[in-house]
Structure 1
Amino acid sequence: MAAEETELIENLDRKFRPIFEQYGEEGGIPLRVLREQMEDSANQQMLPASKVDRLLKRADEDQDGYLDYDEFVTLMTMEEAKGMNVRQLTKFQRLVQISVSSVVPRATVNASDQDVLEDYVDHYNCRPPPLFMILISLAELIIFIAYAIDQKNKGIPTTANSGAPLYSPLMYNPRRRYEAWRFLSYMFIHQGYTHIIFNLIFQLLIGLPLEMVHKWWRVGIVYSLGVIAGSIATSVTDSGTLLCGASGGCYALIGAHFAIIIMNWREMTHDWMDGVLKFILSAPVRLLFWSLFAAADIGLAIYNRYTMGPSAVGYAAHLGGALAAGVLIGIPVLKNIDRLPWERVLWWVCLVVYLLIMTMGILFNIFYEGYPPTDWRKCCPDSY
């Protein structure tokens, strides 16, 4: 018997056996009473609400309204009966299953874990299809190409690490902060083709699987707030610097992914050395892979910031997007089917902290007097 199952049975004995013993002469505990006990906050620390509902649906199949303790333990610890979860998945459903595996913990294969995975699959549908990351990536690519052509006509080449159109009304410019849209629209401008390639790889590799599980609007919120958090962070920590690129949104997605990994570390490291697939999808490998990828991108951004002179663009968007929107907004916004009570507390903590940070950033922008002189010229001058 696995250690996890032994621990579960011990917890069940402590929490629920005394309750069942009160109803021994009646042949079991009434399901009404059982539901009341399970809805108690202390018991929910062990039993997520979704598992409670699932248990009671199975338990009431005979419609007798009672459940004895042995049946209760069996239902809580059983492996799925053969054929119970066999699905004649279409190729489309299999694609969803693969996508789910990249953002759902690869825990011990027991009844609870399989149900969580299937719940995520069941919550996905194609109305609407997961197109947010694809459409936003296409928009960024088209705008990059359009400005590259425009600058070529002006005799300004677009290279691996240079070529951002500083005159663009989309670019974040500390001298034109009154044009509030720039705090978001700068994501459509990139500093060279290396910059946009990194961002597109980032957001498609992480964003698409997240979108297939959590819906386009949830991912869109995290991504967009990451972009805004990135520009706010830059305006506070590097107040005289221009800003471009979708790094804030990309790192918000990475931050959300990190939050998922950290919160489910124990489940995602269970038997992680048993096979190549488990190893690749395990928490340590995912964390290492994305950390190295992020380090390379941040390193390139820092290099560009301090070697390209007056036209250098900032890099604080990486950290601002990852911390403020990725972790703090990812936890409240992204779907969590088996939410435990302590996670509800974390939900509010993250939301409040995010709002406080953003409020302080906005107030800093309003009252700080150390920004470059405001440029009131009609949009948009050819250069800065």
Structure 2
Amino acid sequence: MDERGESFPLGPDFEGKYKPIFENYGPRGIPLSEIRKQLLENDDSIPRQLMRELIRKADSDRDGHLSYNEFIRLMQLRQRHLTRFQRLVRGAISTVVPRGAVNEYGEDVVDSYIDHYTCKPPPMFMILISVIETIVFIIYAVILSKRGTPVTANTGCPTDSPLIFNPSRRYEAWRFLSYMLMHVGYLHLIFNLIFQLLLGIPLELVHKWWRMLIVYFLGVIAGSLCHTVFDQTTFLAGASGGCYALIGAHFAIVIMNWKEMTHDWMDGVVKFLLSAPVRLGFWTILAGADIGVAVYKRYFLEETTNVGYAAHLGGALAGLLIGIPVMKNIKKLKWERVVFWVSIVLYLLFVAFAVLWNIFYKGFPKTDWTKCCKADS
């Protein structure tokens, strides 16, 4: 505890890692000069002057050395002085990797990320893609308003846009990706934004922007390809392929780190809620319910605008298959190397099958070769 009586846990392996080092120095502990040199050179999470002050406070008997107990006090003082942003990072990372999980070096994974996280670059990919989707939505909302068909909660998506996926214009290959920028009504946009930001940013903090870019975009592409296989006659709009790729990636992370994510998982409510079984159950129920509603609306409700649902399935599958080789793995086991290559092969086979389906299947609507996207007068 610190001087205010607050307790700051230091991780399950703290004593085993540091106590033997202090025992080698004898009862007085490690000289302050050596402690100061190591911390100032290797810890940039706290300003240097503040770190010097914390070291001075930790040396309670003023003998110029830090005993093991004084070192514990120093580490607790350091944790108390973490910036608000670092505490935010800790909370976000804990939603992806629960506390108690240890890496191949025996270090607490969350603490290791906090110690080395520099926010360079910041987690901007999910924010940037969300901003772009919002801007595109606003632009088309203005266009539709001028046409006399304003956007509502559940309607409002121009089918003549060069961005929406149109099964009659599959030769315009960019539509297999650009449909993610279009949304049917503002609720569609809002739910996708909330979903991808709440799930995507914590993932990006841990796994970096370029991994998220790969998973998200390949999920979007897989979503449109899956749509062409299962629901060939409807338009496709929305970022659900990318959102479900994030769910699939989360599944991949849990599967590849199952042992670490079940570490003492029954030891307290928080660890239980963040454990692998609970995560899998939660996302399975959420995704299943959402897909079920989408299928029901597609086939059992007479709606004027049918928008495909199969992108959810394609995105989730891509997120799982691509997430296994792309996302970080806490501990790499031999069997996981096999799964690594199997996942890549399965994804490539899926893409190859879908491409061939698009080439040879005869049940698509007649190809529309007319010039699209005439400017509004």
Q: 1:217 to 1:172 in 2, by over 3 A?
A: same
Counterpart for residue 217 of structure 2: 224
Counterpart for residue 244 of structure 2: 251
Counterpart for residue 322 of structure 1: 316
Which of 363, 368, 376 is the aligned partner of 1:375?
A: 368
SS state at 1:311 partner: coil
How many angstroms apart in 2 are the aligned matches of 1:310 and 1:113? 57
Q: 1:264 to 1:336 in 2, by over 3 A?
A: closer
How many angstroms apart in 2 are the aligned matches of 1:189 and 1:163? 10
How many angstroms apart in 1 are the aligned matches of 2:144 and 2:315? 29
How many angstroms apart in 2 are the aligned matches of 1:340 and 1:111? 10
SS state at 1:328 partner: helix
| Deviation string, structure 1 residues 84-140 (Cα, Å, up to 9, x no partner) | 894554333333222221212444679955343344445543222111101111111
SS state at 1:305 partner: helix
Q: Could you tell me which amino acid in structure 2 is paired with residue 157 of structure 1?
A: P
How many angstroms apart in 1 are the aligned matches of 2:147 and 2:373? 15
1:340 is the counterpart of 2:333 = yes
Counterpart for residue 30 of structure 2: none
Alignment map for 1:49-60 (pairs within 5 Å): none
Q: 1:333 to 1:286 in 2, by over 3 A?
A: same
Counterpart for residue 214 of structure 1: 207
SS state at 2:282 partner: helix
How many angstroms apart in 2 are the aligned matches of 1:177 and 1:142? 25
Gaps in structure 1 of 5+ consecutive residues? 1-54, 63-80
Which of 349, 357, 369 is the aligned partner of 2:350?
A: 357
Alignment map for 1:90-101 (pairs within 5 Å): 90-101=83-94
Counterpart for residue 154 of structure 2: 161
Greater relative contact order (Cα 8 A, min sep 6): structure 1 or 2? 1
| Deviation string, structure 1 residues 181-233 (Cα, Å, up to 9, x no partner) | 00000001111222112211210111000101111111011001000000000
- Give the deviation of 1:376 after TM superposition: 0.8
Contact 1:124 1:215 in 2 (8 A): no
How many angstroms apart in 2 are the aligned matches of 1:203 and 1:299? 20
Counterpart for residue 139 of structure 1: 132
Q: CA RMSD in A?
A: 2.9
| Deviation string, structure 1 residues 326-358 (Cα, Å, up to 9, x no partner) | 110011111224222222221111111111111
Q: Could you tell me which amino acid in structure 2 is paired with residue 278 of structure 1?
A: K
Q: 1:353 to 1:122 in 2, by over 3 A?
A: farther
- Give the deviation of 1:311 after TM superposition: 2.9
How many angstroms apart in 2 are the aligned matches of 1:138 and 1:319? 25
Q: Could you tell me which amino acid in structure 1 is paired with residue 308 of structure 2?
A: G
| Deviation string, structure 1 residues 19-48 (Cα, Å, up to 9, x no partner) | xxxxxxxxxxxxxxxxxxxxxxxxxxxxxx
Alignment map for 1:1-384 (pairs within 5 Å): 83=71, 86=75, 88=79, 89-107=82-100, 114-121=107-114, 124-306=117-299, 307-309=301-303, 311-323=305-317, 325-380=318-373
User: TM-score, normalized by length of structure 1?
Assistant: 0.72
User: TM-score, normalized by length of structure 2?
Assistant: 0.73
| Deviation string, structure 1 residues 283-314 (Cα, Å, up to 9, x no partner) | 33333333333234323422432334563010
- Give the deviation of 1:261 after TM superposition: 2.1
How many angstroms apart in 1 are the aligned matches of 2:245 and 2:94? 20
SS state at 1:329 partner: helix
Moved more, 243-252 or 144-153: 144-153
Q: 1:272 to 1:337 in 2, by over 3 A?
A: closer
Contact 2:126 2:201 in 1 (8 A): yes
Q: Could you tell me which amino acid in structure 2 is paired with residue 282 of structure 1?
A: S
Contact 1:123 1:213 in 2 (8 A): no
Q: 1:108 to 1:137 in 2, by over 3 A?
A: closer
Q: Could you tell me which amino acid in structure 1 is paired with residue 279 of structure 2?
A: R
